[in-house]
Chain A
Amino acid sequence: MSASAVVFYILSALILVSALLAVTSRKIFRSAIWLLFSLTGIAGLYFWLQMEFVAAVQIVVYVGGIVVLIIFSIFLTQQSGKDLPAPLRGRAIFSILAAVAGFILTAALLRGYAFPAPGQPAPTATINNIGAQLLSTKEHGYVLPFEVISILLLAAMIGCIVIAMKTKPETK
């Protein structure tokens, strides 16, 4: 086993173990920190696959944006130092059964599937190529989805403002 494969298995173990702790920890703040580790591990996996741009986006948006937002909302809504209630026993057992059964089924299907051989290796995912194709109006260009997603972000921003706005003034 080469060093590269060892790095992959270490990263995978980090991702899966911290994800498992993130969904089972009884303290919500620790749960958010485990989620942070898991997302950083996924960014490491993208670096390992030589997708530097996606890894950078993952760190900036997920680790820098979403996790910070989640931690802020924990501070705003949660009494500190209070444990989350444990899941009901029956619900926990059936959830574990469903998750394990789904995992085993999917893993068995994956092991039996013969993937086609890779096509000819050509241009790497440099930022130059990504930017050129993302804003290209020709065939295989992604300028229309790019514009649509910018409208989606605008709609989400306006929606957040409308939802978070106080509906009635405080009466004294």
Chain B
Amino acid sequence: MNQVPLTHMLIVSTGLFFIGMYGLFTRRNLITMLMSIELILNSVNINFIAFNKYLYPQTLEGVFFTLFVIAIAAAEAAVAIAIIINLYRNFHSIDVETADEMKF
């Protein structure tokens, strides 16, 4: 582990974050946008674990933050997919451009 500097690990997570951001900008399908959000959350998790492991190995704070982020991501994905399926039932499409009214 000590052969790889912390900077390289942070650059990997930065790349993952901006790949997710690119997906969020270009995709117009709700499920693929949700996938991009998962990539962004995972890049944050890598950062927490890397800082915990490299800079503060005597504590466990990064592990707890990662576990909480994973739990919140799971809850968010479940609610998002419930909303997506409900939207599909009403509009027969999950493209964000077609879902232009809130009340029906």
Contacts and interface: CB of A to CB of B under 8 A. Distances in A.
Contact-residue size bin, chain B (C-beta under 8 Å from the other chain): 35 or more
Interface string A39-74: 100100110111101100110011001100110111
Contact-residue size bin, chain A (C-beta under 8 Å from the other chain): 35 or more
Interface string B37-60: 011001001100110011111111
Nearest to B87: A77
A5 B9 CA distance: 11
Given A48-B1, A95-B26, A160-B78, A35 B58 contact: no
Interface in B43-84: 45-46, 49-50, 53-60, 63-64, 66-68, 70-79, 81-84
Interface of B: 1, 3-4, 6-12, 14-16, 18-23, 25-29, 31-32, 34-36, 38-39, 42, 45-46, 49-50, 53-60, 63-64, 66-68, 70-79, 81-86, 88, 94
25 contacts: A5-B4, A23-B27, A23-B39, A28-B29, A49-B53, A51-B49, A51-B63, A54-B67, A61-B74, A69-B77, A69-B81, A87-B27, A94-B25, A96-B22, A102-B21, A103-B15, A110-B11, A115-B7, A118-B57, A121-B58, A140-B59, A149-B68, A156-B76, A156-B78, A163-B82
